[in-house]
Amino acid sequence: MSPSGIGGGASSADERPAGLGRRREALAGVLAVAVMIGVSQPVAALLAAGRSPVIAIGDVVIDTVPGWLERAVISWLGTADKPFLIGMILLVSALLGAALGVLAARRFAAGAVGLVGMMTVGAAASLSDPGAGLVASLFVALAGAFAGIATLWMLLRASVRSAPAVPTPPGAGAPVAIGSAAVDRRRFVQLAGVAAVVAFVGAAAGRMLAGSERIEKLRQAIRLPRPVRPAPPPPPGADLEIRGLAPLFVPNDDFYRIDTALRIPQVEPDGWSLQVKGLVERPFSVTYDELMAMPQIEADITLACVSNEVGGGLVGNARWQGVPLYRLLERAGLKKGATQLIGRSVDGFTAGFPTLTALDVKESMVAVGMNGEPLPARHGFPARLVIPGLYGYVSATKWLSAIELTGWDVDGYWIPRGWAKKGPIKTQSRIDVPAAGSTIPAGRRPIAGVAWAPTRGIERVEVRIDGGRWLEATLAEALDVDAWRQWFLPWEPTPGRHVIAVRATDGRGEVQTDERTPVAPDGAAGRHTIEVVVV
Ligand SMILES: Nc1nc2c(c(=O)[nH]1)N[C@H]1C(S)=C(S)[C@@H](COP(=O)(O)O)O[C@H]1N2
Ligand SMILES: [Mo]
């Protein structure tokens, strides 16, 4: 075996007197970056004002990419957009690491400066987070950079250590004896293994320390107070319980999740408070315990995302519990000009809607409970807004930290990104059974689905098969005007291809439009139409 094969490179040994292949240099750089990131995670998690550089960079990317690109990525990847973004950041970091490894093998200082530069970008990104601190961010960056540089140094030195001290005379053949080359290689592999373990353990420790398990324990220990106005039990027959049909209440674990948070904010209920401020006579704040002690209501409300395509799954119904908004607004006293209510999240997200909605729609609430449990972390623990009839992007602020009364001129997060200022939920209906595009056996079977028009209710659902006349579907018992309603139509199809369309009529007698509009800027319209093959 020739020593020039150690590094796996194709170039001859004379070009690399130390026997150090480019691949190995690059690998050293990648591992240095991995350790750097791995070490920065637990350090960031341990400091209250520290932030993971990777998450921080991701957050900045989310906040700065143009609205159309963000929409395109979400519609392409759905909720996989976040893992994808993290993956891209790690990939770019690895590529930078590889380049820095090769550079450091020639000029170590240059490589080290590169690593420091990467961490500086991370620290700078952290500072765009409202809760991050300058000193903590610098400390995270320094700790990571130090670990990365040390790793790079050890890995590169391990590779050149066994190089001969005396230059081999020209033409003397292999510069490194086979025995020492093997030692050299083993040492590199060992160190590389250690580096990989350090990076992995660091990342895992960071996750653990980030507090999600602790907050989950606290959350599970919380008992929701009995609502002063409980929602009536669902009438019998409100849930048709047809296989494949969306349940009347979507279980919390299955409920769709949409937000800009790369890492779910872990909010300690004890340190949390909700401020009511802005154009109010008496600004105040309430702690979690105070909020829990206030009279609460319960309401069945369907939440929908403006990004939901016709027939899509970014919609769900739940039984929410919380403090009605009008109570908080009464206590604060509205000033003239307080035409908009902005919800602010601990992570900086904002959403605003007309103050009148909060006053007129009595079920508008600061929710603390979802389907009988304290809000799950991913759905906004400890508190969020739930406003019947409005898409989430203008209303449903999770991890709520403040309610701010402003004029209409202030814009929430999504408005400058190309979404409509007003976001009423459009009347929609969806066919769940049979599944779109499926092949099904002939025989009697229902066509079934859900329809929703929060605040207006659903009065009628009609189905059209193969372009025939509209057939009236049977509606399940209604839960509440704010909640979705199931429907079904018995069907005995003939073999072959069939096209099924659905349309709903809301409580005001308005028929869902057939005119297709895209999700941007104010929600998709059009009728869900599916094709199935009966065999
Ligand atoms: N803090 C915060 N709250 C947020 C968002 C967000 O990005 N950050 N997204 C909103 C959007 S666009 C929707 S559709 C709903 C979704 O709520 P869910 O994830 O509980 O289903 O949350 C809203 N609340
Ligand atoms: Mo949304």
CA 389–ligand 1 middle distance (angstroms): 15
Which of 345, 398, 399, 401 best tests ligand 1's pocket when mutated (most atoms within 8 Å of CB)? 398
In a domain, 149, yes or no: yes
Ligand 1, CB within 6 Å, residue ranges:
255-261, 303, 305, 345, 347, 349, 379, 392-393, 396-399
Q: Distance (Å, rounded) from C-alpha 334 to C-alpha 117?
A: 49
> Number of structural domains, the chain?
3
Least confident window among 37-51, 286-300, 412-426, 456-470: 37-51
pLDDT at 393 over 80: yes
Residue 379 CA: which ligand 1 atom is closest? Answer: 20
Q: Are residues 439 and 374 in the same domain?
A: no
Tell me the per-residue pLDDT of 266-309, one tens digit each, with 9 for 90 and over: 999 999 999 999 999 999 999 999 999 999 999 999 999 999 99
Ligand lying closest to the C-alpha of residue 349:
1
pLDDT at res. 20 = 61
Which of 259, 350, 415, 425 best tests ligand 1's pocket when mutated (most atoms within 8 Å of CB)? 259
Helix, strand counts (H, E) of the chain: 12, 19
Q: Are residues 55 and 88 in the same domain?
A: yes
pLDDT at res. 214 = 86
Q: Distance (Å, rounded) from C-alpha 106 to C-alpha 450?
A: 65
pLDDT at res. 36 = 96
CATH number at residue 394: 3.90.420.10
In a domain, 227, yes or no: no
Least confident window among 79-88, 333-342, 434-443, 508-517: 79-88
CATH number at residue 437: 2.60.40.650
pLDDT at res. 446 = 96
Q: How far apart are the first and last CA of the chain?
A: 64
Q: Are residues 179 and 37 in the same domain?
A: yes
Tell me the per-residue pLDDT of 135-188, one tens digit each, with 9 for 90 and over: 999 999 999 999 999 999 999 987 665 444 444 444 444 444 445 666 678 888
pLDDT at 61 over 60: yes
| Average pLDDT of the chain, as a whole number | 90
Q: Are residues 180 and 76 in the same domain?
A: yes
pLDDT at res. 73 = 81
pLDDT at res. 10 = 38
Q: Are residues 411 and 482 in the same domain?
A: no
Q: Are residues 49 and 186 in the same domain?
A: yes
Can you name the residues that pair with 303 across neighbouring β-strands? 316
pLDDT at res. 207 = 82
Q: Are residues 53 and 200 in the same domain?
A: yes
- Percentage of the chain modeled with pLDDT above 70: 92
Q: Are residues 367 and 439 in the same domain?
A: no
CA 118–ligand 1 middle distance (angstroms): 31
Q: For 262-290, what is the HEC assignment?
A: CCCCCCCCCCCEEEEEECECCCEEEEHHH
Which of helix, strand or coil describes residue 410? coil
* pTM as predicted: 0.84
CA 384–ligand 1 middle distance (angstroms): 9
Let me know: does 41 contact 202? Beta carbons within 8 Å: yes
In a domain, 193, yes or no: yes
pLDDT at 513 over 90: yes
Q: Distance (Å, rounded) from C-alpha 422 to C-alpha 363?
A: 19
Q: Which of 251, 277, 211, 231 is nearest to 379 (CA)?
A: 251
Domain holding 364, by residue range, is: 269-416
In a domain, 247, yes or no: no
- Percentage of the chain modeled with pLDDT above 90: 79
pLDDT at res. 442 = 94
Q: Distance (Å, rounded) from C-alpha 510 to C-alpha 455?
A: 13
In a domain, 276, yes or no: yes
In a domain, 146, yes or no: yes
pLDDT at res. 181 = 66
Q: Are residues 349 and 379 in the same domain?
A: yes
Q: Are residues 124 and 197 in the same domain?
A: yes
Q: Are residues 273 and 401 in the same domain?
A: yes
Q: Distance (Å, rounded) from C-alpha 405 to C-alpha 352?
A: 9
pLDDT at res. 186 = 86
pLDDT at res. 486 = 98
Tell me the per-residue pLDDT of 321-330, one tens digit each, with 9 for 90 and over: 999 999 999 9
pLDDT at res. 173 = 45
Higher pLDDT, 208 or 181: 208
In a domain, 140, yes or no: yes
Q: Distance (Å, rounded) from C-alpha 180 to C-alpha 176?
A: 7
- Atom 21 (ligand 1) nearest CA: 257
Q: Which two tokens stand for residue 43?
A: 């350090």
Tell me the per-residue pLDDT of 209-221, one tens digit each, with 9 for 90 and over: 877 888 999 999 9
In which band, very low, low, confident or very high, does the pLDDT at 69 lie, cut at 50, 70 and 90? confident
pLDDT at res. 294 = 97
Q: Distance (Å, rounded) from C-alpha 443 to C-alpha 465?
A: 16
In a domain, 451, yes or no: yes
pLDDT at res. 251 = 97
Q: Distance (Å, rounded) from C-alpha 213 to C-alpha 216?
A: 5
| Interacting residues of 477 by C-beta distance below 8 A, sequence separation 6+ | 234, 235, 236, 237, 238
pLDDT at 416 over 80: yes
